[in-house]
Structure 1
Amino acid sequence: MKLSSSSKYLSAEDARALRAMAFAPRMLVEGHHSGKHRSRWRGASMEFHEFRPYTPGDAPHLVDWRVFARTDRFYLKTFEQETRLECHLFVDSSASMGFPEEPGAVTKLDWASHLAACLAYLVTLRQDRVSLTLFDAAIRQHLPPGATRGHLQQILHALEQNAPGQKTSLSVALERALPLLKHKATLVVVSDFLDDPAAIFRALGAYLHRGFRVFLFQVLTPQELLLPDTAYRRYVDMETATALPVHPSAVRAAYQRELEEHHRRLSQLSARRGVEFVQARTDQPWLDHLRRLTR
């Protein structure tokens, strides 16, 4: 699949690099809606596999009566078909994802959008299905699964037009999005995860119960991971506008303890529930992290 035009988050150079990659074989597969793998089905399909003897419990309408007329024995046709992957991309678009606000800086939302665009391209490249959900405290936009070039262009356009919104509530957004997803598949959430880990995993529990394969990408900036070494700064909460003047050196140790504890809780809950959790930095190449989802 070739791009009709270059996108802010997916250039022609990106596409060339991605065409050498293939979407992960670990992704969930279910029937016609989940992953391009070979699977055997009884009944109508595109490609005949073989005959096999009838066994008690098989549906009588699947018997090949022409073979019965020739052999006086009951045989069923089996078929092979390609099943299709379905991947759901969730991109946090809350106000905090707009950090840093300096001109020309790569924000967390930029990095997340680049990753989502590349994943969408990879999925549709294999004619599999991908959806996109943009959220803050609510669902801001949802594009249902599709696999066409036109659908990919819709996703790229939605990512380009997206902007940081309101206060985040990842757990609420996950709860509200669940009815939109009709089939178990792969769920990829890209966020800064600045929310209560316990609430996040309570919301993810419904997806895991339905058999979703879940990948979490926590996107943070170097400034958030290591407070700048300055004498004095005025910090403003991007979601509440609360201002706090501090000396970074006076709070750095306590801040890093809190950040490490938050990361530890996310990591532990992920490991306990069989969820892939990756912490990414906006100064790291997105390609390095895509390798977790590719062969």
Structure 2
Amino acid sequence: MPFPLLSPADLHALNDLALVARLIAEGAQAGLHPSRRRGAGLEFSQYRPYQPGDDLRRLDWRLAARSDRYYLRESDVDTRLTVRLLLDASASMNHPDAAGLTKLQYARLLLASLAYVAHRQGDAVGFSALHQAGLQSVPPSADASQLPRLYHALRQLSATGTFPAAGTVAPLLARRGASVTVVVGDLYDLSTADQPVTPLTQLLRQLRAAGGEVLVLHLLARNEYDLDYPTTAQLEDLETGQRLQFDATQRAAYQAQLQSWLRQTEQTVRGFGLYYHRLFTDEPPAQALRTVLRGPARASA
């Protein structure tokens, strides 16, 4: 297996986010968007023949005088984006998979690689973590020292408490220019039939209203999906501390409820007109990144 496709646990063990981000991005071999397009800009790129209706201000009159032909000067137009990375850092993200890697640790690998890709394209990239203590942010920037700042914030981050109240995330909702927002979390705080309006539900709806593209990456550990625990086990809610005794006879009922919740969760996110991806924490991050960057279909709002 190529080195960039090492398991998430192996990549985490390298303990060097800068190296890991580069390896994952190179393994994915993709970009968030075309970085430049042809048009009327500042940096000259090429000539093309004049066509009726073209802007005469872009006509090269000196070339016309020499050749008796009419050409327009084309330039590269900057299409850089602002990429905002949002992480649910509530305590449920501390759930470990069978290899011992938590959702938070997997999210750290994925977000570092997304930041690397965006920065390499010249985009301004920023990071925000959402947890009970509030909003922890690194404002978007495209300068050379931004990646070290982001990597430091990711390394220092811990997952605690519950998802923050709706008012805490207000700074994330300002309407700005071209942007891509990537939300990463386990989505346990999304609305349900019993609790139709939650801070996370409000955030996703408001992010869509604020403009730009929004991608939601739903993280699951394989063991919570399969519930492959011993015949009897005690399960604990990492955010409330509530404990539940489990035995193998409950597995079928759990699976049915889980599949129902997953369908509802995906429908809710897509119903807002957002992109949705379900990722497992045992999936090589380069493979996950490649899937994300392909540009999935999005349901219309």
* TM-score, normalization by structure 2: 0.74
Q: C-alpha displacement at 1:53, in angstroms? A: 8.6
Looking at structure 1, the residues matched to 220 and 190 of structure 2 have their Cα atoms a distance apart, in angstroms, of 16
1:193 matched residue in structure 2: 187
Looking at structure 1, the residues matched to 112 and 73 of structure 2 have their Cα atoms a distance apart, in angstroms, of 41
Looking at structure 1, the residues matched to 211 and 240 of structure 2 have their Cα atoms a distance apart, in angstroms, of 36
Q: 1:17 to 1:113 in 2, by over 3 A?
A: closer
Q: C-alpha displacement at 1:24, in angstroms? A: 3.7
User: Retained in 2: the 8 A contact 1:170–1:193?
Assistant: no
Whether 1:18 aligns to 2:25 is: yes
2:10 matched residue in structure 1: none
2:82 matched residue in structure 1: 86
Looking at structure 1, the residues matched to 27 and 232 of structure 2 have their Cα atoms a distance apart, in angstroms, of 48
Q: C-alpha displacement at 1:260, in angstroms? A: 1.4
Q: C-alpha displacement at 1:189, in angstroms? A: 0.9
Pairs aligned (count): 274
Looking at structure 2, the residues matched to 222 and 17 of structure 1 have their Cα atoms a distance apart, in angstroms, of 21
> Matched residue of 1:47: which SS?
strand
User: Retained in 1: the 8 A contact 2:18–2:151?
Assistant: no
Q: C-alpha displacement at 1:85, in angstroms? A: 2.6
Looking at structure 1, the residues matched to 260 and 170 of structure 2 have their Cα atoms a distance apart, in angstroms, of 25
Letter in 1 for 2:264: R
* TM-score, normalization by structure 1: 0.75
Letter in 2 for 1:217: L
Q: C-alpha displacement at 1:48, in angstroms? A: 5.9
Unaligned residue ranges in structure 2 (runs of 5+): 1-12, 295-301
Q: 1:170 to 1:270 in 2, by over 3 A?
A: farther
Can you list the C-alpha shifts for 1:50-87, whole angstroms capped at 9, x where unaligned? Answer: 5969979x8x9x688987xx89xxx9966432321321
1:276 matched residue in structure 2: 275
User: Retained in 2: the 8 A contact 1:87–1:187?
Assistant: yes
Looking at structure 2, the residues matched to 186 and 170 of structure 1 have their Cα atoms a distance apart, in angstroms, of 23
User: Retained in 2: the 8 A contact 1:233–1:247?
Assistant: yes
User: Retained in 1: the 8 A contact 2:43–2:76?
Assistant: yes
Letter in 2 for 1:188: V
Unaligned residue ranges in structure 1 (runs of 5+): 1-5, 28-34
Q: 1:218 to 1:173 in 2, by over 3 A?
A: farther
Letter in 2 for 1:45: L
1:134 matched residue in structure 2: 129
1:8 matched residue in structure 2: 15
Q: 1:228 to 1:13 in 2, by over 3 A?
A: closer
Can you list the C-alpha shifts for 1:176-219, whole angstroms capped at 9, x where unaligned? Answer: 5213x633411111101001346444432333234321211111
Looking at structure 1, the residues matched to 79 and 137 of structure 2 have their Cα atoms a distance apart, in angstroms, of 24
Q: 1:13 to 1:90 in 2, by over 3 A?
A: closer
Identity across matched positions, percent: 25
Looking at structure 1, the residues matched to 289 and 97 of structure 2 have their Cα atoms a distance apart, in angstroms, of 26
1:125 matched residue in structure 2: 120
Letter in 1 for 2:118: V
1:157 matched residue in structure 2: 152
Letter in 2 for 1:128: D
Can you list the C-alpha shifts for 1:105-152, whole angstroms capped at 9, x where unaligned? Answer: 211100001100011111112222211111124643111212233100
